[in-house]
Amino acid sequence: MIDLHIHTTASDGSDSPKELLERIIQAGIRVFSVTDHDSTASCREIERLIREQKNAGGKELPSFLYGVEFSCEDEQGKYHILGYAYDITKGHVLELTKETHAIRMLKLERRLNYIKETFGISFPEAELSALRKLNNPGKPHIGNLLVKHGHAADRSEAIRRFLNPYSPPEGHIRPEAAIRAILADGGIPVLAHAIYGDGDQLIMGEELTERVQRLKDFGLLGLECFYSGFVPKQQMLMLGLADQFDLYVTAGSDYHGSNKLIPLGDTGFDPESDANPRLEAFLKEALKGQ
């Protein structure tokens, strides 16, 4: 079993790195990656935890790949670019996460001001202080506060009613910047859930093909073809694009712990019946040296 798209408390997941590693082992996943939004913090912590457990001996441990997920935008739309097996010591990915963190913090303040000015909603200073101390606070974290204070029945409603109507004017990184940073650190850039864009779009047909072509021209090396949100027809469409553009294939659940109802390992990939040479080639390259 593999799962190459997972989030922790370093972005918008509910599991700490230690909790996640325990669940990965319990689930029997053999290869995994943590792909927090614009953050590498949990990757470094999980690497440390695995090293400690290996030194202590005992149970067999899964293979782990450094990962990251950059939220990007250009004139043609929004994208989520995954990066795998990069060398964190080279610094390009790390520097880009610092830039994207600054953008996220500006967006946080803009969103808080928007709901205060538009709806008259504010939060206790202690809760705002805790929010600002998070590694990468975003709409889910504000949504949780809105639910806690009785403004919405659940986080989805809170985001839809109070946050989605507003688009912060702050900058964004372009997909080519994310791809080039990942490549500069020796990593593998992959387009996440391409059919869904940044999560709330539906991109098909010629637009999807042109998008993949443009990103490949920037250096994209793979497509997330096995994904928890894809039905079989969408999965086959993505696999066809990987063949058409000669790209690696990856498989990821987009697990967020209790923040999304997606189980670990729910990628749509069945290792007993879905042998895929492009996925095998990705794993061989990404795990090289382990």
Q: How confident is the model at residue 175 (pLDDT cuts 50, 70, 90)?
A: very high
| Predicted TM-score (pTM) of this structure | 0.89
Burial of residue 221, with CB atoms counted within 10 A of its CB: 0-12 exposed, 13-18 middle, 19 or more buried: buried
- Look at residue 279 and tell me whether its pLDDT is greater than 90: yes
- Look at residue 114 and tell me whether its pLDDT is greater than 70: yes
Of the two residues 169 and 262, the one the predictor is more confident about is 262
The secondary element (H helix, E strand) that includes residue 3 is strand 2-3
Say how far apart CA 80 and CA 82 lie, in whole Å.
7
Region for 192 from its dihedrals, namely left if φ exceeds 0, alpha if ψ lies in -120 to 50, beta otherwise? beta
- pLDDT for 58: 64
Task: Please say whether the beta carbons of 214 and 76 come within 8 A.
Answer: yes
Alpha-carbon dihedral 222, 223, 224, 225, rounded to 10 degrees: -130
Find where tokens 């990184």 sit.
Answer: 173
- Look at residue 265 and tell me whether its pLDDT is greater than 80: yes
- pLDDT for 246: 97
- Per-residue pLDDT tens over the stretch 189-211: 999 999 987 666 788 899 999 99
- Look at residue 186 and tell me whether its pLDDT is greater than 90: yes
What is the torsional sign of CA 8, 144, 79, 116? negative
Most confident of 106-115, 165-174, 178-187: 178-187
Region for 81 from its dihedrals, namely left if φ exceeds 0, alpha if ψ lies in -120 to 50, beta otherwise? beta
- Look at residue 248 and tell me whether its pLDDT is greater than 80: yes
- Look at residue 171 and tell me whether its pLDDT is greater than 90: no
- pLDDT for 139: 86
Say how far apart CA 234 and CA 218 lie, in whole Å.
24
- Per-residue pLDDT tens over the stretch 60-75: 889 999 999 999 988 8
- Look at residue 259 and tell me whether its pLDDT is greater than 90: no
- pLDDT for 47: 93
Tokens read off for 135: 């590694």
Average pLDDT, the chain: 92
Residue range 163-180: mean pLDDT, rounded? 88
For the chain, domains (ranges, CATH) are 2-98+189-286 (3.20.20.140)
Q: Quick one: what percent of the chain has pLDDT higher than 90?
A: 71
Residue 153: which residues within 8 A CB-CB, separation 6 or more?
147
- pLDDT for 200: 67
Residue type, 48: R
Task: Please say whether the beta carbons of 1 and 30 come within 8 A.
Answer: yes
Q: 171 by DSSP, 3-state: which?
A: coil
- Per-residue pLDDT tens over the stretch 33-63: 999 999 999 999 999 999 988 887 767 889 9
Say how far apart CA 120 and CA 108 lie, in whole Å.
17
Task: Please say whether the beta carbons of 10 and 39 come within 8 A.
Answer: yes
- Look at residue 76 and tell me whether its pLDDT is greater than 90: no
- pLDDT for 199: 63
